[in-house]
Structure 1
């Protein structure tokens, strides 16, 4: 069983996201360790990109701050190597196909695996183009994690059949960001996936409160939170580790109580 799958082995999973380098790589490193200690089951590390099409204004601004601060993919790989000496929490990269292409797909995937990453999420990679990365991910032992959105049933089924690690269920059409209400029938999406494959499903996009996290995790295998955490990083800057840790602990308790 891959480390990504293991994150769901103990029950419902809470999965936080941070943008690497916002406010600095040293703070990102401290955040990952603190979130793991607070009970996060799997952590998504965002590699900043100049045109993050799936992101709302909060994560877009974090990308801009990180890039302005001089973050590079190589510096992020170095941070992951340091993290692996401190924590064994499962970690996946969330970035854009262009970042992988410009680095060199094989070089990126090989280096990510050697540094200690467990998976890769590319939100702008259509299912039909997955073949460009999938064989390399399999070769180097990274789970290429698929996203399913509230689209046609047949498309969800096809994506589920080929999925690795877990299936990222997008709760809302549009970009990432905090939402007061999530109206998508997440349960129906999860059922479609499970009819095809025995694979964990986690829900992301729009979750910000413990009640929302618990509601989404009750219908799936876990909850993913990004914008609400990135907002705290923007608000507190270099002092964000304590408030983010407290927030993650509260979310973990809501999800693990199920």
Structure 2
């Protein structure tokens, strides 16, 4: 059990995490260590974080949808593949130690940061797709699996791959990323909930903060576009990289 005053504290942290996550991803960098510090066992922390995260992501996706940055119908197959991938990942993490994967993730996130800084494609101009919709499906499913299995940086991986491989502008890629993130969070939450690994009252309290932060973040992103998203994406990727490398050597 956690102390009652921590409910208010964790809800406040969720506002910050929801804001960052709605723009650049990486809210888990803030939320997961905080939940572990509060005394939650790792799997309970993962499940409870998915509950608050899905509420914040829903708000962000709603805001991006209202701004016309994505439509569900043309992306139905993509959503299904991501859902199935995340479902498989969440089922797998119940049985496997994720420590080996945590060594690879910093390398990938560092690559995201470098690509974001150096690539001329990381702006709001639409580019030519390098691969087709169908060719992108296995990669999207893999990212969905990763989100269900481990999670940090999922939004960054979706956004960068949609810009670099599908030719989307950065703001539109961020909007579609929220739909895909919502999908993978839903699949993961189902698995954790069925396994009894969610603290519902705490998660719902944090969800209020996550929704507030996500509304503010999505509003800011749709207003300022790539000039806000790009630096936050770099910062989130580098921060996640540092945190995960430190956790590997310290743990």
Q: Is TM-score (shorter-chain normalized) higher than 0.5?
A: no
- Which structure has the higher relative contact order (CA within 8 Å, separation 6+)? 2
More helix by share: 2
More strand by share: 1
TM range (shorter): under 0.3
TM-score (norm 1): 0.27
